Amino acid sequence: MPKIDTPNKAYYKDMDGELDQYVGTWKGNWEGKTLFLQLRKVKKRHTAGDGTYFDVDAILGERKIVSPNGIIEVDRVSNFDENLPEFYGILGQKKNFAQKYLLFQPDNMCNKTANIDINFTNAQKTEMKLSLKLNPNGVLTSCQYYNLIIVEGKSWPINFPKDIVLTKQ
């Protein structure tokens, strides 16, 4: 990591508890599948090559997807990985900082990423709508999906809905 342009040992703490509303297990359905999204608030350390660092409160997430016939298609919740989670945030968009999103980097997708916009749909903040937007980045010829995407012109086989409403469990 390059030199960090922030005071060494700084801690960007969630002082007002803004991140707390996202924490928990969320559930929704799409195309007969059930999505469970588990979000945790953790203190993450970012360290530069020279050993300087800063800490930040962040939301990390993992997902579980169950098919209509009960088969588990994806389960990263059972072995939640705080070092390399599929979801990281909560971030504010550059053009509209009030619009919050999670960065989504699905496992085994050749470093493909997406932004998942988050909008609470009720005042109690027990329902939220997620909208997936793939980030534009290239595909290496070594990627197992190169032919599918570049040659056949198909979409990334990311097992996640474009839009979904989740309810806090």
Query: What's the confidence (pLDDT) of residue 66?
Result: 98
pLDDT in tens, the chain (169 residues): 555 578 899 999 999 999 999 999 999 999 999 999 999 999 999 898 899 999 999 999 999 999 999 999 999 999 999 999 999 999 877 777 778 999 999 988 998 999 999 999 999 999 999 999 999 878 888 999 999 888 898 888 999 999 999 999 9
The whole model's pTM is what?
Answer: 0.89
Sequence-ordered list of residues with C-beta below 8 angstroms from that of 66, at least 6 positions apart, any chain? 33, 34, 36, 72, 73
Query: What's the confidence (pLDDT) of residue 99?
Result: 86
Query: What's the confidence (pLDDT) of residue 114?
Result: 94
Sequence-ordered list of residues with C-beta below 8 angstroms from that of 168, at least 6 positions apart, any chain? 24, 25, 26, 125, 126, 127
